[in-house]
Structure 1
């Protein structure tokens, strides 16, 4: 599931493949931009902003994309077979003499002036993996609505950018509270530590091929050698790594949410 760490990895792959090269193929398969042609323009860079991707090209243009639940960008060498999905799922093709980047199932794809990038990403809070990261601002944003459930507040990219459903569940477990606990009920040290842990986890996973929250460097993790990569996410019915109580699952805002009913205190649902 694409979250801030995997989106950053995608940006790095695209940047390595495209930046500094001239586009020899451009195909945007969305009605609004189907006639746009970027061929002949050099790709300047590909940057991640939270869970958004910004591909900047010559002439002051930016291709903005968002992966959401199952979107993906794949990079192919000449002669490679495209394996990212059936052809009807392709939304964008950006090709150079060296590589071809293909965007599959992209729910957001738009071409805008680079000077107008704020229209797409200006609403985002501090980026956990970006140069604008500010833990104090992130904490203040997170606690701005005291009655809001913690899970909702963590997923709101206006508070802090980069957390998705996996990290939501894992962070609530590490904080020992349920995702339905109002953020105003978090003790001040726990709230501050939550923001710090979020940063540590995404930093630890930014270059890993497989995301893990159980083997990171932060002292907040009680089982640094656990074989399971995650504490609770997608582990419904399996024993908690702390207490062996079966992990439970329930939807929160139409998203599958996992927690330990013994280790995590607070309301449910």
Structure 2
């Protein structure tokens, strides 16, 4: 699931493959840009901004993409077979003399002037993995709507950029609070820890092939994906329910013992009903 660390990794792969190279192939497979041709231009660099990717090209142009749930960029040697999915899922191809970057299932792909990048990313809050990181501002953003559930506030990229559903669940667990706790009721000592803890989670995972928050081999995450399995701390079955503002619900995992506070009642419309699993 693409979150800030995954997008940072994608930016690094693309930058390493394309930066400083002249494009020998350019194919943007979205109707609006079907005739756009970037061949002959040098790629200046690729950077991540939250969950957004910005590929800057000579001539003051930027190719902006967003992976959302299942998009991806793959990099191949020019004699290598493409394996990211069927051809009809390809949305972008950027090729150089040695490498080809292929964008699959990209829900957002737009070519813009580099000077206009703020139109795409200017709404984002401080980036957990970016040079603009500002912990005090991020915390102030999270607490600006004190009645909003903390889990929803963490996912709002206008507050801070880079947290997705996995880190939302894991961060709430590590803070010992329910994702449904109103942000304004977060105890002061835990609120003070939140920005640094969130940044640490993404930083330690941005160079890892498998995301982990526990430090335990074979048990990578504390609660995410562990519905009805024993909590790694106390043994209480982890619960699962949907959380959202009505526009999009997200599966949310938490331990009711380690994370006391408001939550959907078992059997409520938000609660998920799945077959229990055994083991750790």
Asked if these proteins are the same fold (TM beyond 0.5), I'd say yes
Equivalent residues in 2 for 1:18-167 (5 A)?
18-167=18-167
Shift of 1:9: 0.5
Q: What residue is the counterpart of 1:248 in the other structure? A: 239
- 5+ residue gaps in structure 2? 265-280
> Is the aligned partner of 1:14 residue 2:20?
no
Higher mean alpha-carbon deviation, 245-254 vs 98-107, is at 245-254
What TM-score do the two structures reach when normalised by structure 1?
0.95
What TM-score do the two structures reach when normalised by structure 2?
0.92
Structure 1: which 4+ aligned runs deviate by more than 4 Å?
none
Equivalent residues in 2 for 1:158-237 (5 A)?
158-215=158-215, 225=216, 227-237=218-228
* Among 225, 248, 266, the residue aligned to 2:261: 266
Cα distance in 1 between the residues matched to 2:47 and 2:175:
31
Shift of 1:226: 5.6
Cα distance in 1 between the residues matched to 2:129 and 2:242:
28
Cα distance in 2 between the residues matched to 1:81 and 1:140:
48
Cα distance in 1 between the residues matched to 2:196 and 2:46:
27
Cα distance in 2 between the residues matched to 1:199 and 1:268:
26
Shift of 1:32: 1.1
Shift of 1:191: 1.1
Shift of 1:178: 1.1
Q: What residue is the counterpart of 2:276 in the other structure? A: none
Shift of 1:31: 1.1
Cα distance in 1 between the residues matched to 2:68 and 2:130:
19
- 5+ residue gaps in structure 1? 216-224
Cα distance in 1 between the residues matched to 2:255 and 2:139:
25
Cα distance in 2 between the residues matched to 1:110 and 1:147:
36
* Matched residue count: 260
Cα distance in 2 between the residues matched to 1:170 and 1:226:
17
Shift of 1:50: 0.6
Shift of 1:128: 0.3
- 1:55-79 Cα offsets, whole Å, 9 max, x none, are 0000000000000111000000011
CA RMSD of aligned residues (A): 0.8
- 1:228-257 Cα offsets, whole Å, 9 max, x none, are 000000111111000011111111121111
Cα distance in 2 between the residues matched to 1:41 and 1:81:
25
- 1:132-159 Cα offsets, whole Å, 9 max, x none, are 1010000000100000010110000010
Cα distance in 1 between the residues matched to 2:138 and 2:81:
43
- Secondary structure at the residue paired with 2:141? helix
Cα distance in 1 between the residues matched to 2:48 and 2:213:
22
- Secondary structure at the residue paired with 1:209? coil
Q: What residue is the counterpart of 1:222 in the other structure? A: none
Cα distance in 2 between the residues matched to 1:147 and 1:32:
41
